[in-house]
Amino acid sequence: DGGITQSPKYLFRKEGQNVTLSCEQNLNHDAMYWYRQDPGQGLRLIYYSQIVNDFQKGDIAEGYSVSREKKESFPLTVTSAQKNPTAFYLCASSMGRLGNEQFFGPGTRLTVL
């Protein structure tokens, strides 16, 4: 099956810890994206990558970091510098060309204890 997988589905973190969210796609898409979703709000872009070994900050990149060492993988690290990390995190991918839709993973719900 082609698609996007995210793991884990639920993640709990203590304050001061870094955590890494996994995102893998087998759609052969060039571009990948990370979004944050808070209750009752739309999606906000954290980071995006149009090509391997390159990525750009989105609208709310502070306290987050990413890497894109492989085309299939785009992990997101939530660092201790992110002051309010509790949220639903969604990964997406697309062909990267303008007008192409993005395909979304099932999401990871991160809760800070």
Partner 1 sequence: AQSVTQLDSHVSVSEGTPVLLRCNYSSSYSPSLFWYVQHPNKGLQLLLKYTSAATLVKGINGFEAEFKKSETSFHLTKPSAHMSDAAEYFCVVSDIDSGNTGKLIFGQGTTLQVKP
Out of 2, 15, 99, 113, which residue is the one contacting partner 1 (CB under 8 A)?
99
DSSP 96: -
40 touching partner 1, by CB under 8 A: yes
β-bridge pairing 64-66 and 54-57: unpaired
| For the chain, the helix, strand and coil percentages under 3-state DSSP, each to the nearest 5 | 0, 50, 50
Could you tell me the smallest distance in angstroms from the CB atom of residue 55 to partner 1? 11
Provide the minimum distance between the beta carbon of 100 and partner 1 in the complex, in angstroms, as a whole number. 6
Q: Looking at residue 59, what DSSP letter applies?
A: S
Is residue 8 part of the contact set for partner 1 (CB under 8 A)?
no
Question: Which tokens sit at 52?
Answer: 């391997």
What residues line the site for partner 1 (CB under 8 A)? 4, 6, 31, 33, 40-43, 45, 48, 50, 56, 58, 88, 90, 92, 94-107, 109
